[in-house]
Amino acid sequence: MTRWEELAGSATGGTLYGIGVGPGDVRYLTLRAAGLVRSVDVVAFFAKRGRQGNARSIVTPLLEAGRRELRLEYPVTDEIPATHPDYHSQIGAFYRQAADSLSELLRQGRSVGLLSEGDPFFYGSFMHMWRRLAKTFPVEVVPGVTGMSGCWTRANTPITWGDDALVVLPGTLDEGKLVERLRLADAAVIMKVGRNLGKVRRAVETAGLLSRALYVERGTMPGERVVPLASCGDPEGAYFAMILIPGQGRAI
């Protein structure tokens, strides 16, 4: 065993691990996350239909051939709005089935690592499994570098200074709510931009923040793009995109 494998520790049978795999670049995994990705009996991950799954792609360099994997494929993602009753029933049934598949492996005494982009407890799908399984099985959550940390690092911009209050908003909020919350913020991060880009851009402009806003797509991943929001003319954003509005507080 190498020194780093010893420090990372290994996986225990019958335990579910929520593994934060960071913002995209495999080098930003924690020691514990990398160790578990290499040692769990089963590597599980969520994926959109027809896609490899972003968290799974991030750890590809760490996976040797022949590892046992469990792909949990969403029946829908952004084809139906999250407020639609069909979305709730389909996603609810999917999460129940996914939790059943994980339970079966855990009951067999396998260690299962469920990959999560960024940090598992920060808007992570892992939380839906944690909610269903943590009372029955041992669960360890491994924190990860969040997508937003990766994005402001790659945009080369500090996000908060001194007394700045940072507000994190999902781009799925309605325009009025976005404006209201942005007006209270010294610094802001707007996640889940995707199809909401037009609405988000209008809200940022109405709040008087457009000149400071950056659009970051696929931060730390292949195809990364960082541009001022004012000059990003895209009608829609990428799924992996966010808006950063850096604070201007006390820089001494």
Ligand X SMILES: C[S@@+](CC[C@H](N)C(=O)[O-])C[C@H]1O[C@@H](n2cnc3c(N)ncnc32)[C@H](O)[C@@H]1O
Give the residue with the Cβ less far from ligand X, 150 or 246. 150
Q: Per CB under 6 A, does 150 bind ligand X?
A: yes
Report in angstroms how near the CB of residue 83 gets to ligand X at its nearest. 16
Q: Per CB under 6 A, does 161 bind ligand X?
A: no
Burial class (CB in 10 A: 0-12, 13-18, 19+), 100: exposed
Give the residue with the Cβ less far from ligand X, 19 or 179. 19
Q: Do residues 70 and 112 make contact, with C-beta atoms less than 8 angstroms apart?
A: yes
Give CA–CA dist 78/106, Å, rounded: 30
Q: Which of 151, 209, 160, 152 is nearest to 180 (CA)?
A: 209
Binding string to ligand X for residues 74 to 113, with x set by CB under 6 A, is what?
----------------------------------------
Binding string to ligand X for residues 108 to 147, with x set by CB under 6 A, is what?
--------xxxx--xxx---------------------xx
Give the residue with the Cβ less far from ligand X, 124 or 246. 124
Q: Per CB under 6 A, does 241 bind ligand X?
A: yes
Q: Do residues 87 and 80 make contact, with C-beta atoms less than 8 angstroms apart?
A: yes
Residue 118 DSSP class: B
Report in angstroms how near the CB of residue 68 gets to ligand X at its nearest. 24
Give the distance from CA 235 to its chain's centroid: 23
Q: Per CB under 6 A, does 57 bind ligand X?
A: no
Q: Do residues 115 and 55 make contact, with C-beta atoms less than 8 angstroms apart?
A: yes
The pairing of beta strand 166-170 with beta strand 139-142:
unpaired
- Contact positions vs ligand X (CB under 6 A): 23-24, 116-119, 122-124, 146-147, 150-151, 191-193, 216, 218-221, 239-242
